[in-house]
Structure 1
Amino acid sequence: MGILEIRNLKAFVGKKEILKNINISFERGKFYGIIGPNGTGKSTLFSAITGIIKDIKGDIFIKGDNIKYYSIDDLSREISLMSQEFQIKFPYTIEEIVAMGRFPFCGRNLKSKDIDIINRSLEDTELIKIKKKKITELSGGETQRVFFAKTICKNTDIILIDEGFSNADIYYKIKFLKLIKEKAKEENKTIIFIMHDLQIARKYCDELVILNKGSVYNFGKSSEVLNKTALKDVFNIKGEFIKDSLEVY
């Protein structure tokens, strides 16, 4: 059994079935990408895993335990989620927001270990020099960096990122993708990233889940599953990958 196991999962919004019989097993030490057309259930899958939506059938296991028996606090200590949307209207500093990643473990009583993790997250995201700056003073790209820092600051074994670097400069996008891959390998974490850029997904992810119309179209090694047939069937693209470059006909 993988660290995160999804069995026969169906998810609904109202009466509409969004996810249909999803079966996936995620292992430690790998960087996974989830790709597929808009509206195919990618973000809904994250919402099911994190307990945000309750109208589901099937089972989700973390380290062998069914999440239906987890409290929200329990889940927050097992999973970090960086969503597409984040709103902070109060003028917290960058450092204060990143520190919130430690609250599920220690509340506001930060210990030296927590402070070390906070500082490392600020260093990794190149925010340490501006850590006293207010979140309300930042650009969209800088704000994404802050919430990425907060996400990795939780230091959980499972990290979910929903299109997290869409506003980031290309320098930070590449830097953070490399950092994620490094964390998966060196810290034995399971990182799952919803992506829209197929070239980046194929280049950086160890394995890909391709969702189409709420179902798993394919799942496996990135260079194998994101092929000519998948491009046509799922994305309506006539083309192929030459190494990691997408050539469209």
Structure 2
Amino acid sequence: MTQQTPAVLVRGVRKQYSDEVAIGPLDLSIPGGGITALVGPNGAGKSTLLTMMGRLLGMDDGTIEVAGFDVARTKSKDLAKVVSVLRQENHFVTRLTVRQLVGFGRFPHSRGRLTTADEEIVSRAIDFLELGELEGRYLDELSGGQRQRAYVAMVLAQDTEVVLLDEPLNNLDMKHSVQMMKHLHRAAEVLGRTIVIVLHDINFAGHYADRICAMKNGTVIEFGTPAEIMTDEVLSRVFDTEVRVIEGPAGPLAVYY
């Protein structure tokens, strides 16, 4: 039986910021499909790893392959067709409508000249995130949750196998965080995307992710299913505080004080 190529393969990756601060060496193999959540305390290296996966940050050593492409050697126009990235900082100085923003996701394919096929993909992404009634509205007229959905629609419109999301729940309240995770879970399941996401809330990771990568001090210390990671021992060790995992109505819940 032929072994499937990982969607993301990280081998010996290291990023040195100073004599005291470094990330790695990191080794990680993320299978295709589903949601993989990167969790861990502040400064663990989650966002750094994610941005290196998307080649928004260079690495000092090692290699990263996404969908079989070496991110350090692949041409940007080719890499943009297999991996899309949404960072925390989404600041567009130009006033844009939702549809115009989502249309930017087609740039790697259309180079700015949207075809009929591109417009159809944009419409599907807008409908998938339930933004149809808002597509003509400007971003500065939207709530934080609506605006975040528009950015996610943009990366889905890029139509890549791998989607990298850096804390997409940032600044969202509980209701909109739940809605966002449901949209992402559906994107992984229905659209067949491999989603790698940085999350701060371990319970969102435990409920919605297919795999959890726990990081600490710039290294990967645990990688497995939610059932394997959501234990008292593992979470207490990862977060350096006492964590108790209880069985909630929809699965395990981490409780900490």
Bin for the TM-score computed over the shorter chain: over 0.9
Match of 2:42 among 32, 38, 42: 38
Question: How many Å separate the matches in 2 of 1:50 and 1:16?
Answer: 25
Contact 1:48 1:56 in 2 (8 A): no
Contact 1:34 1:210 in 2 (8 A): yes
Shift of 1:76: 1.7
Q: Indicate the SS of the match to 2:81.
A: helix
Provide the residue aligned with 2:232 in structure 1. Answer: 228
- Residues 175-231 of structure 1: CA deviation (Å, up to 9, x unaligned): 331232222233332111100011111111011000000011100111212311122
Provide the residue aligned with 1:176 in structure 2. Answer: 180
Provide the residue aligned with 1:246 in structure 2. Answer: 254
Question: How many Å separate the matches in 2 of 1:140 and 1:186?
Answer: 25
Question: How many Å separate the matches in 1 of 2:67 and 2:146?
Answer: 34
User: 1:96–1:15: structure 2 CA closer, same or farther, 3 Å change rule?
Assistant: farther
Amino acid at match of 1:30: G
1:62 has 2:66 as partner: yes
Question: How many Å separate the matches in 1 of 2:168 and 2:243?
Answer: 27
Question: How many Å separate the matches in 1 of 2:189 and 2:129?
Answer: 18
Amino acid at match of 2:61: K
Provide the residue aligned with 1:130 in structure 2. Answer: 134
Provide the residue aligned with 1:143 in structure 2. Answer: 147
Question: How many Å separate the matches in 2 of 1:166 and 1:51?
Answer: 22
TM-score (norm 1): 0.92
Q: Pairwise CA RMSD of aligned residues? A: 1.8
- Describe how 1:48-197 pairs up with structure 2 within 5 A: 48-197=52-201
- Residues 142-192 of structure 1: CA deviation (Å, up to 9, x unaligned): 321221111111121000111102233444322331232222233332111
Question: How many Å separate the matches in 1 of 2:115 and 2:147?
Answer: 26
- Residues 29-86 of structure 1: CA deviation (Å, up to 9, x unaligned): 1210000001111111012111122242011112333222112222222111111111
1:210 has 2:214 as partner: yes
Question: How many Å separate the matches in 1 of 2:64 and 2:127?
Answer: 34
Provide the residue aligned with 1:201 in structure 2. Answer: 205
- Residues 214-249 of structure 1: CA deviation (Å, up to 9, x unaligned): 011100111212311122212123232223222347
Question: How many Å separate the matches in 2 of 1:184 and 1:140?
Answer: 23
Q: Equivalent pairs: percent with the same residue?
A: 26
Contact 1:227 1:241 in 2 (8 A): yes
Q: Indicate the SS of the match to 1:69.
A: coil
Contact 2:126 2:135 in 1 (8 A): yes
Question: How many Å separate the matches in 2 of 1:205 and 1:103?
Answer: 29
Contact 1:145 1:168 in 2 (8 A): no
Shift of 1:14: 4.9
Shift of 1:16: 5.2
- Residues 106-130 of structure 1: CA deviation (Å, up to 9, x unaligned): 1222122211221121122222112
Shift of 1:25: 0.8
The answer for unaligned runs of 5 or more in structure 2 is: none
Amino acid at match of 2:62: G
